[in-house]
């Protein structure tokens, strides 16, 4: 059986992020049936249509490639205490 390849995205850039800690815990819990690669969003620019497509920054191209080669994506985000998230 082929190992499932998952991509983890943390909605927090903080070093001691609870969202990232959850993803790290999932890495251990899912192994060896699935590999969870956590992709750092540090350095990822805000979206700008002028810089999209063939002009996309390397960090954006790397994220797109990671998503395309994954079997699934897990997103962990901080709690907003009963409010809707900003996104």
For 28-58, give the DSSP string: HHHTTTEEEEEEP-TTPPPP-GGG-GGG--H
pLDDT of amino acid 86: 61
Would the pLDDT of 84 be above 70? no
Residue 57 lies in a domain: yes
Q: Domain total for the chain? A: 1
Q: Which residue has the higher pLDDT, 19 or 85?
A: 19
For residue 20, give every residue at least 6 positions away whose Cβ sits within 8 Å of its Cβ, in sequence order, or none.
10, 12, 14, 38, 76
CATH of the domain at 70: 3.40.50.360
Over residues 17-61, the pLDDT tens digits come to 999 999 999 999 999 999 999 999 999 999 999 989 888 999 999
Residue 81 lies in a domain: no
pLDDT of amino acid 83: 65
Q: What integer is the mean pLDDT of 9-20?
A: 92
- In contact, 76 and 10? CB cutoff 8 Å: yes
pLDDT of amino acid 31: 92
Domain hosting residue 23, numbered range: 4-76
């Amino acid at each position: 059986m082929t190992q499932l390849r998952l991509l983890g995205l943390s909605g927090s850039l903080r070093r001691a992020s609870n969202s990232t800690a959850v993803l790290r815990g999932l890495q251990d819990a899912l192994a060896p049936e699935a590999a969870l690669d956590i992709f750092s969003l540090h350095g990822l620019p805000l979206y700008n249509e002028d810089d999209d497509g063939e002009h996309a920054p390397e960090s954006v191209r790397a994220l797109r490639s990671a998503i395309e080669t994954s079997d699934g994506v897990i997103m962990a985000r901080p709690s907003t205490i009963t409010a809707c998230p900003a996104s």
